Structure 1
Amino acid sequence: MTTPIEAVRLPDPRAAYASLLRTRPFAFDERVGAWVAADAAAVRAVLGSPALRVRPPAEPVPAGIAGSAAGEVFGDLVRMTDGSVQQRLKAVVVDALGTADAAHTHAVAAGHTRDALGDGPGQGLFQDLMFGVPARTVASLCGLDRGAGAEAARAIGDFVQCIPASATPAQQREAALAAARLRELLGPGIEAGEGGPGLLGELVRAAARASWSRTAPLLANAVGFLSQTYDATAGLIGNTLVALARGTAKVPGTPEETEALVREIVRYDAPVQNTRRFAAEPFAYAGRTVEPGGQVLVVLAAANLDPTVNTEPLELRPGRVDPVVFTFGAGAHRCPGEEVAVSIASAVVGELVAAGLAPGTLPAEPEYRPLANARIPLL
C-alpha cells in the first residue's frame, strides 16, 4: 500500500488519496512515523489547533543552520513560527501582499516569460519557466532590477534547500551563503523606509501601520516572498502543463480560461501535497490523542478531494463555483501568496499557449522531483 509521501510522486496520486479518505481519514501510520490527517474535517482541526506547531518545539530552527544567516532568516519566517508575535508579523506580511495588483503581477510575469521564450527552446527552458520566471517576477515586484533579480532568483534556489528535513550539510552551507546574499540584495529596499518601491516598500509601510519596528524579521520575510514562490509556483505551472499534455484539460483560449484552469489545478493536482504539524500539547481528535512530541502529516491534496466538501472531486472542472481548497493551508498559517502564485502561473501558461505550445510535445507521464511534499514534474 502506497504511503501518503510516496503518493506525491505517483503518476496519479488521486486513487491513493481517495482510498485514504475512505479508510483512514485520521490514523497513525507506522510507515511514516506520524499521524495522518486526510479528510477535510481532520485537516481543518489540525491546522486550526494551537496545540500543534509548524516546527518541533525543541528545534524551532534546524540544527544544521542554527547560528548561520540561513538560520536567522528561517527563525523569523512567519511560515515557520507560532504565537502572538508571529500573528502580528503575519498580519504585516498579509497587509503588504494584499497590495500586489494581480494584473500588474501577471504583466510582469508575462514579460519575463517572453524573455525566456525569446532565448529559444534550449535544454532547461521549462526548468527556467517553472522556477526562474516566478522568482524573477517576485524579485521585480520587490523593486530589484533585472540583474539583481536574476541573482536573487539563483540564490533563492540555494536557500530553499535548507528547509526540508532531508537537507545535507553541503546544502545547508550553500543556503547560509545564499541567505546572506539575499539579505544584501533585499536590504536596501527595506532600509529605504516607507518611501521604498514595490513590495518591500509596502512591507515597511504595513509595518508602520502595525507599529512594528524590528527590521530583521521584515527582511527575513522579504526573503520569504521569494522562497514561498519557488516550489509552489513551479509545481502549479508544471502540473497545469501536464494536464494539458494528458488531454485532461483543453488548451485555454482566453486569459480567463487560463486562470480558471490554473485555479482548478491548485485543487485537483496540488503543487504542495502535504505539510506537517508537531504536538506541543496533547491534541485530541476523533477519539484519538496525539501526545506531545508526536507529528501529524497533513495531506492537503487528499482533503481537496474530499467529496463532502467538493462535488465530484476527482473531475478536473475549471470554473468550479466556491471550491474548498486546502493547498495553501488554513488557519494561522494560511499562505498569503495564493493570488500572486495564480497570477504568475496563469501568465506563464498563457504566454506558452500564445507562443504555439503543442501540449503533445510535453511528457504526459513525467517523473517527479524526489520531494516529500511538493509535486513538481520534470519537464
Structure 2
Amino acid sequence: MDPIIAATHADPYPYYAQLRAEGGLVFHQGLKLWVASSADAVAAVFAHPDCQVRPLSEPVPKTIVEGLAGEVFGRLMRMNEGEPQRCPRSAIEPGLALIDRNEVQALVNARLITPDAEGLSKAMFRGPVCVVAALLGFSPAQGRMISELTADFVACLSPLSSQAQLDAAHGATEQLRGYFIELLDDPGAQSPLLSDIKQRFGASDNERLIANLIGLCSQAYEATAGLIGNALVTLIRNPSLQRDSASIDVLISEVQRFDPSVQNTRRFVAAPCEIAGVSLNPSDAILVLLASANRDSQLNDNPDVFLLDRPNRRSFTFGSGRHQCPGQRLALSIATATLTQILAMKPALERLTWHYRPSLNGRIPLFSEGQT
C-alpha cells in the first residue's frame, strides 16, 4: 500500500497509524513527495504561507489548460492564493453560513429517492447538486440538468480521467456557464442567496463569479456524495445506529471525522521553508493526509472508536486556515437531510455491497445489491 492507494482501500486506517509512527512529515521515495500524516504536521502545512494549493509551474493542470474547463479551474478560489482566493470567498461564505437547515430538508424531501442501489447513487451524487442549484434560484428541471453537467465537469479535476472525459468536461463547462449567465441576467429568477453573493462580488469580474458558482456545484457533487455514502457504510457495519434516528446530524459529524470522503489533499512549496523540523525546497510537493490526522490521538481521544457523543470533536476533513471549505455547514446539512430521507424509507441496507470509486484522494462508496 501507499498513501494514495490507501484512499480507496477497504481499511486504510492501520496503515495511516503506521505512517504517523514513522514521523509526522516524511519523504516517500516511491511517490517522490512528502507525506504529512500527523495532526501537528497537517496543521503546520495548512498554516504555512509558502504551502500553496497549486505548483507555481502549473497553476492549471496541463491536461485542461487549453480548454474552457481550464479557464474555470484557473479562477476557482480553492485553486488560488491571495486576492483571487480571498475575494470570492468573502463574497460566497457569508451567504452559505445563513442557509436554513429546514429549507435544505424541504428541498431534499421534494426529490424522489428510491431505496435501491441506483436510487441511493442518485441521492448521493445528483441530489446535493440539485439542492445547491435550487438554493441559487434554478428550477427543479434546471437543477437536474445542472447536476448532470456537473457530473461531467468534475472529470477535469481528476488525473485518472480519460481524454474523452476531459473533452466532455469542456463541453459541460460551456453549458454550465450558459446556465449561470442566464440566471445572473434575470434578477427575478435569482434567489436571496445568489443576490447576496452577486452583490458582495460586485461587477468587476463576472467570469470569476461564474467559475466559483460552478465550483460550488462541483464541491457538492463528490465530497457530499462520499459523506452520505460513508455514513451508509457506517450504518451497515453498525446496525444499532440505525435505530437512533434523532442523532443523524451527530452521526454525520462523526462520520466526516472517522471515515472522511476526502482522504488527502496536496500542497506545493513556493519558497524555502521549515515545517515540523523538516527543511523543504521550492517545487516540493506534500501529500496532506486528512484522514490520518483525524485519527491522531493528539487531535481526538480514542480516535479509532466511533463515538456519537464525542466531546470536542476535531477534524481536518474540511481543511483548515485560509483554504478551509466555506461550504462545510451546507454540506453537513445536505448530508443529514439526505440520510434522514433515506432512512425514512427503511431500506434493506444489509443487502447492499460496495466498492470505492477510483480516485487518488476521494473515498466514495458505490453501492450494488447482492453483488461484489
- Give the shorter-chain TM-score range: over 0.9
1:291 to 281, 289, 311: 281
* Percent identity of paired positions between Structure 1 and Structure 2: 36
Would you say how many aligned residue pairs link Structure 1 and Structure 2?
A: 367
- Conserved 8 A contact 2:183-2:189: no
Which of 241, 253, 257 aligns to 1:263? It is: 253
User: Equivalent residues in 2 for 1:125-164 (5 A)?
Assistant: 125-164=119-158
2:75/2:84 contact within 8 Å kept: no
Provide the residue aligned with 2:160 in structure 1.
Answer: 166
SS of residue in 1 equivalent to 2:366:
coil
Partner of 1:320: 310
Q: How does 1:1-379 map to 2 (within 5 A)?
A: 2-112=1-111, 115-117=112-114, 121=116, 124-192=118-186, 196-208=190-202, 213-247=204-238, 250-254=241-245, 256-363=246-353, 366-379=354-367
CA contact under 8 A between 2:108 and 2:131: conserved in structure 1? yes
- How far 1:284 sits from its partner (Å)? 0.9
In 2, Cα distance between equivalents of 1:104 and 1:94: 18
Cα offset, 1:81, TM superposition: 0.7
For the residues of structure 2 that align with 1:37 and 1:248, how far apart are their CA atoms? 34
Deviations 1:321-362 (A, max 9, x none): 221110010111111111111111111211111111233122
Does the 8 Å contact 2:42/2:290 carry over to 1? yes
Specify the code of the residue in structure 2 equivalent to 1:41: D
Code of the aligned partner of 2:228 = I
- Kindly state the Cα deviation for residue 241 of structure 1 after the two structures are TM-superposed: 0.4
SS at match of 1:372: coil
Aligned equivalents of 1:140, 1:197: Cα separation in 2: 8
2:370 aligned partner: none
CA, structure 1 residues 191+168, in 2 after alignment: closer, same or farther (shift >3 Å)? same
Q: Do 1:35 and 1:290's aligned partners in 2 also have CA atoms closer than 8 Å?
A: no
Q: For 1:191 and 1:290, how far apart are their aligned partners in 2? A: 48
Structure 1 residue ranges without an equivalent (≥5) = none
Q: Secondary structure at the match of 1:293?
A: coil
Are 2:160 and 2:359, in contact at CA under 8 Å, matched by a contact in 1? Answer: no
1:245-292 deviation line (CA, Å, top 9, x unaligned):
1127611533x4011101100000000000001111123123322211
Give the whole-Å Cα distance in 2 for the aligned partners of 1:61 and 1:252. Answer: 47
Deviation at 1:307, TM superposition (A): 0.3
* Aligned-partner Cα distance in 1 for 2:349–2:280: 46
* CA positional deviation for 1:201: 1.9
Cα RMSD after superposing both structures: 1.8
SS of alignment partner, residue 250 of structure 1: helix
Change (3 A) 1:188 1:202: farther
Cα distance in 1 for partners of 2:155, 2:320 equals 24
- State the SS of the aligned residue for 1:261: helix
After superposing the two structures, state which structure 1 stretch, 84-93 or 226-235, moved more: 84-93
Tell me how far apart the structure 2 counterparts of residues 10 and 308 of structure 1 sit (CA, whole Å): 24
TM-score by length of 1: 0.92
Closer/same/farther in 2, CA of residues 316 and 249 from structure 1, 3 Å limit: farther
Aligned residue for 1:251, secondary structure, equals: helix
* Shift in alpha-carbon separation, 1:252–1:224, aligned structure 2, 3 A: farther
Give secondary structure in 2 for the equivalent of 1:222: helix
Cα separation, partners in 2 of 1:205 and 1:102, compared to 1, 3 Å: farther
Query: Distance between the aligned counterparts of 1:99 and 1:193, measured in 2?
Result: 21
CA separation in 2, counterparts of 1:58 and 1:342? 35
Structure 2: which amino acid aligns with 1:344?
I
Check the 8 A contact 1:194/1:201 in 2, yes or no: no
For 1:19-64, what per-residue CA distance to the aligned partner results, in whole angstroms no more than 9, with x for missing partners?
2122232100012221000111100111111111111111111122
- On the 8 A contact 1:95/1:206 being kept in 2, the answer is no
